[in-house]
Amino acid sequence: MGLSMDEQKAVERFKTDVVEPSMTQLVILDFYADWCGPCKAIAPMLEKVAAEYADKGVVLKKIDVDEEKFIAAQF
């Protein structure tokens, strides 16, 4: 059984937003939820690290686990 259309779109977004940039940059991938206290606590630290190393090609990509359930489940 193949992927649903929504799952295919999620995979394409992930490829475009995360996989392709990771070919030339270090990607910090943050799986988060708006309701998650620990996610909110660590977010400023991840943003700071990404900003401090942006000139070295580090980028922060965020995946909302409530919006991207299929992608989050793969990890």
Residue 14 lies in a domain: no
Between the CA of residue 22 and those of 17, 64, 66, what are the distances in Å? 9, 19, 23
CATH of the domain at 58: 3.40.30.10
The residues annotated as belonging to the active site are: 36, 39
Residue 43 lies in a domain: yes
Residue 38 lies in a domain: yes
Give the pLDDT confidence score for residue 2 in this predicted structure.
87
Residue 7 lies in a domain: no
Output the furthest CA–CA distance in the chain (Å, rounded): 44
Residue 5 lies in a domain: no
Residue 1 lies in a domain: no
Structural domain total, the chain: 1
- Domain of 27 in residue numbering reads as 22-74
Residue 8 lies in a domain: no
Instruction: pLDDT band for 12, please (50, 70, 90 cuts).
Output: very high
The pLDDT tens digits of the residues spanning 30-68 come to 999 999 999 999 999 999 999 999 999 999 999 999 999
pTM for the structure as a whole: 0.84
